[in-house]
A and B are shown apart, each in its own frame.
Chain A
């Protein structure tokens, strides 16, 4: 009898040790979290710390605008517990394949949780396409923070024991990003931004510029990742001239051959942003490249503002 009671006691102690004092479920193995794009590597790395494993779906060095999943990528996918997606048009190479796989392998649906990082972000419409969202929420600070919080919450639901840890990390990371932005924003307090007009080759900077109260006047590519034709380029040049667009933003890592044509034809100032989806995966990539983008933006806005000021003085 006493043997039976002590066995029962041991069993209940083991159960409570496994579930923790508050009855929180404990995982047997650390969470294995996948990502599709470089910025999400940084977001997840800064949220999970050392309490989960991070697995990029695709080896670094690919172009997300023109990639198709390979068998090696699918093998990695089958080992994941969760996959963090952009989900609004920038990782369709992954979303479409995953949807088909889940449809054909119901057991994968049980094992893999898809995390749509953008589900709580108020999205912008795509510039030149109908019924599409602008998927570049990762080139920003505020939209990045919103996604980091969504990711932390979702991972916390999968790993309740570490939910508070993930949340604290997310808030710390958000503060770090905000501190970075505020440093550069303060430098623009005395700059008149009202008469600055902006064009960009790729529609990637809407969310970023929105944080500074600026909208993009002209987007040159007719659709995501598609180069303009000669007649479309001509119309763009006319538009840039007639709307007095001062600044053209283009990408560091994309070869836009028509940019020099526009520069010659309009005399517009050209600046390069990082699109943040190229190179090696790195937890500090977002911080580093957003700092670079903030520096570039500051320089561009100050230059355009002073050019406008000079033009007004002469006029």
Chain B
């Protein structure tokens, strides 16, 4: 043994154990970094939540009617362009356009009722041009309002809109046809513009 070796032996030297501790720490840090970057990537690339459509909360019967009415808009426009006047409920029934073909006229003369016809589940009327109102006669069925804006030229069509409203209709309130007649008369122009009670379901094109 030399004197220099004796001097070295006098110093304290820390010897790390060969158990991979340091490597483990580095690996762990890199792992955390990768996970963090991955997490950021996932968080920033979430698919958009699809828009919740209002009509999904409607019953099967209401949805079926909504679908019929969405096609009826096209047929009403077609008839209006052909005849240069908005079709009445009676005409729509004669043309067998659903849902208007599922009705029969009330016992009162149709002119007194201003074209309102009903029977079965809905009371249909046209309070104004381009406005078709179907009042539900059953508690479990919604009422529907179809609004087609009146335009000057066929090339400038504005989209029609379909609204629905849940009804809590008490059948006991109406004892006879006269009561129904009064309800039909009560469907005035205000119903085509006061949309506060209505829920928009569909906009045409």
Contacts and interface: CB of A to CB of B under 8 A. Distances in A.
A122 B67 contact: yes
A178 B98 contact: yes
A143 B60 contact: no
Interface residues of A, number: 26
Contacts of B60: 210, 213-215
Given A142-B67, A143-B67, A178-B96, A125 B75 contact: no
Contacts of A171: 74-75, 78
B68 interface: yes
Given A120-B70, A122-B53, A210 B205 contact: no
Contacts of B202: 120, 122
Contacts of B47: 131
A213 B62 CA distance: 9
A138 interface: no
B53 A145 contact: no
Interface in B76-105: 78, 96, 98
A167 B204 contact: no
A146 B183 CA distance: 32
**Highest count of chain A CB atoms <10 Å: which of B53, B60, B67, B98:** B67
A121 interface: yes
Contact of A149 (B50, B64, B66, B71): B71
B66 A153 contact: no
B205 A122 contact: no
Nearest to B157: A153
Contacts of B74: 149, 153, 171
A174 B205 CA distance: 18
A142 B53 contact: no
A301 B128 CA distance: 41
Contacts of A120: 70, 202, 204-205
Mostly, the B contact residues are helix
Nearest to A119: B205
Nearest to B48: A131
Interface in A91-145: 119-125, 131, 142-143, 145
B70 A122 contact: yes
Given A122-B201, A178-B98, A215-B60, A146 B67 contact: yes
B70 to A, nearest CB: 6
Interface string B185-202: 000000000000000011
Interface string B126-158: 000000000000000000000000000000000
Contacts of B1: none
B64 A211 contact: yes
Contacts of B64: 142, 210-211, 213
Residue with the greatest number of chain B CB neighbours at <10 A, chosen from A142, A174, A214: A142
Interface string B49-66: 110010110001101101
A153 B160 CA distance: 14
Contacts of B55: 122
Interface in A186-229: 210-211, 213-215
Given A211-B64, A215-B60, A121 B78 contact: no
Contacts of B68: 142
A145 B68 CA distance: 9
Contacts of A124: 56, 63
A124 B67 CA distance: 11
B49 A131 contact: yes
A150 B202 CA distance: 14
Contact of A121 (B70, B75, B96): B70
B152 to A, nearest CB: 15
Given A146-B70, A214-B60, A215-B60, A123 B204 contact: no
B160 to A, nearest CB: 10
Contact of A142 (B49, B56, B71): B71
Nearest to B47: A131
B66 A122 contact: yes
Nearest to A140: B67
Given A120-B204, A167-B78, A210-B64, A145 B56 contact: no
A124 B78 CA distance: 28
A222 B195 CA distance: 41
A213 to B, nearest CB: 5
A286 to B, nearest CB: 16
A213 B58 CA distance: 12
- Please list the 8 inter-chain residue pairs (A to B) with the smallest Cβ-Cβ separation, ordered nearest first: A149-B74, A122-B55, A215-B60, A146-B71, A142-B67, A145-B71, A122-B66, A210-B64
Given A171-B78, A210-B60, A210-B63, 7 more contacts: A122-B55, A125-B56, A142-B64, A142-B71, A150-B205, A175-B96, A213-B61
